[in-house]
Amino acid sequence: MADKTAVAELRLSDVKVGQLPRWLASCNFSPASIGRAIIRGKDRYFNKYVNVRKTGVAPVSHFVFACIFVSYIWRFKGEKHHRLRKHHW
pLDDT of residue 49: 84
Residues of the chain with pLDDT under 70: 1-5, 80-89
Structural domain tally of the chain? 1
Look at residue 39 and tell me if it is in a domain: no
Range of the domain at 72: 56-89
Quick one: angle between helices 76-83 and 58-74, nearest 10? Answer: 70
DSSP letter at 44 equals H
First to last CA, the chain: 59
pLDDT of residue 42: 93
In a domain, 77, yes or no: yes
Task: Give ∠ CA 71-52-70 in degrees, rounded to 5.
Answer: 5
Per-residue pLDDT, 1: 52
